[in-house]
Amino acid sequence: MTSQSSIPLSYADPLPGPVVEPAPARRAASIRRTSHLDVTCRAGDGFMNSIVSIGGAARDLLTDHEGVAAVVAVARLHVSMDGEGRIDAVDQDPLRPACDELVGARVGFGFRSSVKNLLVDLTGSPLGLLVDDLSGAPAPSGYGSIRERAVLGLPDPPTPAAAAGVYQQADVCAGWRAGGLPLRSRMAGQSLPFAAEPPRAPSLQGADAVAWHSMDRLKMRQSRRIRRLDLWADTEVLRVDAMFRDVTVDPDPDLTVRVVHEYALTAEIDPDTLTVLAAHADPRSLPFPTDCPFAAGSAELIVGHHVGDLRTAVRTISRGAHSCTHLNDLLRSLADVSVLAPLLPRRS
C-alpha cells in the first residue's frame, strides 16, 4: 500500500460504470448467495432523510454438475424504526435464532457491537448476512436525499465550514481523505462533488430466471443494497466472484434507479486451509470518483487470512484513508465462504 502523502490529488482513470450483467452465468457445481435490503425514508430537511424501515431477503442457490439449480436456504428480515432512529419491531423468517436483540438498537455506526451476540448466533447464515448488513445498508439513503434535492432544484441545507464533524470525518475512508476534494469542499461550505448524473442501474433481469431472488420494484425515497457471491471449485483453488451495488431512486415520473456504490470482487481461496490466496477489487461506480477509487487496493490486505476470520480481521487491517467502509463490508462477506464451501457439489 502507498503512503497517504503519495496518493495523487485526484484519481486519474474514469470509472467504467456498473456491471451491465451483475449475475454472470451460473457455473456447474457452484453455489450463489444473493441478498438485498431496501431502506425506506420519509422526507426530511437535512442531508439525511429519516429512516422508516429496512427490509429484504437472502437466498442460497446450489447448481449441480448438470446445471440444475436448487434453493438450499432462504431468509427474510424487516425492521421498523421509531422516531429516534432505533429499531422498534422485527419480522423475520426463519424464526430461529430469534432477532429480538435488534429491538432498541440503532443502525449505522456501532450497530454490530450492540448486537454482537446475535451476530455470533447467526454466523454464516443468509439471515446473518441481512442482520450484519443493517449497519451499512442505510448509507445510500443519505446520497438519495441529496440527489432528491438536486433533481427538484432545492438548495442544499446549510453546512458550517468548520463543523467539528467535518474534521472527525477526515481520513475515515478514501472518499473523505484529508486533502481530498470531498473534504475540501465540505470544509469550504460548498456542495459535495458528486457526479452530475449518476449512472442508471442496469436491470438484474436476464436470460437466467433464477439468477437472483425476487425483489420488488423500488419506490420513491427508497434505496437498496444488493449482494451476490458465487463460489466454485476450479482445479486446485476455490474461486469467488462477488459484487455489491447500492442504488437510490430519482424523484421523476419513471422513478429512475441510480447507482451510488458498486464494487466487483474476485478472490482465490485454498480449499484445504480456507486461506485467501489472492483478491482483487474493481471499482465500478462510486459517489466521489476523484477519491473513492483509491480504496480498491485495500482488497489485497485480506491475502493470507482465513476467510472465517474476515468479519473481525477486516476492521483491523483495512481502515483509514486507504479504505472504503462499503468495500470492507464486501471483503467481510467472504467469511461466509467457510459455511458455503462444504455445500459445494462433489463428484461421487
Set of cell numbers at residue 171 = 481520513
What count of other Cβ atoms lies within 10 Å of the Cβ of residue 185? 15
Could you write out the DSSP letters of every residue in 213-251? ---PPP-TTEEEEEEEEEEEEETTEEEEEEEEEEEEE-S
Q: Which of 19-28, 65-74, 93-102, 235-244 has the lowest mean pLDDT?
A: 19-28
Please provide the average confidence, as pLDDT, over all residues in the chain. Answer: 90
Q: How far is it, in rounded angstroms, from Cα 195 to Cα 216?
A: 27
Query: What pLDDT score was predicted for residue 164?
Result: 54
Output 219 or 160, whichever has higher pLDDT: 219
pTM for this entry: 0.92
- Report helix, strand or coil for 106: strand
pLDDT at residue 187 above 90? no
Across the chain, the runs of DSSP E, i.e. the strands, are: 30-42, 50-63, 69-81, 87-93, 222-234, 237-249, 257-269, 276-285
User: What count of other Cβ atoms lies within 10 Å of the Cβ of residue 9?
Assistant: 10
pLDDT of res. 27: 94
Beta bridge partners, 77, equal 56, 92
- The per-residue pLDDT for 303 is 98
End-to-end CA distance of the chain: 44
Instruction: Determine which of 57-71, 144-158, 223-237, 333-347 has the lowest per-residue pLDDT on average.
Output: 144-158
For residue 335, give the nearest of 124, 180, 137, 135 by alpha carbon: 124
Q: Which of helix, strand or coil describes residue 34?
A: strand
The whole-number pLDDT of residue 158 equals 58
- pLDDT value for 3: 46
- Strand order in 87-93's β-sheet? 87-93, 69-81, 50-63, 30-42, 222-234, 237-249, 257-269, 276-285
Question: Do 92 and 125 meet the contact criterion of CB atoms below 8 Å apart?
Answer: no
Instruction: Please determine, for residue 208, whether its predicted confidence score (pLDDT) is greater than 50.
Output: yes
Q: Please state the φ and ψ torsions of residue 59, each to the nearest 5 degrees.
A: -150, 140
Checking if the pLDDT of 2 tops 50, the result is: no
**Segment 306-324 mean pLDDT:** 95
pLDDT band, residue 201 (cuts 50/70/90):
very high
Summarize pLDDT for 154-169 with one digit per residue, the tens: 776 655 554 555 666 7
Least confident span in 44-48, 107-111, 136-140, 210-214: 44-48
Rounded to the nearest 10 degrees, what angle do helices 310-317 and 325-332 cross at?
A: 150
For the chain, what are the domain ranges?
A: 4-11+26-343
What CA–CA distance (Å, rounded) separates 310 from 288?
A: 26
Tell me: the pLDDT tens digits for 65-107? 999 999 999 999 999 999 888 999 999 999 999 999 999 999 9
Q: So what's the pLDDT on residue 301?
A: 98
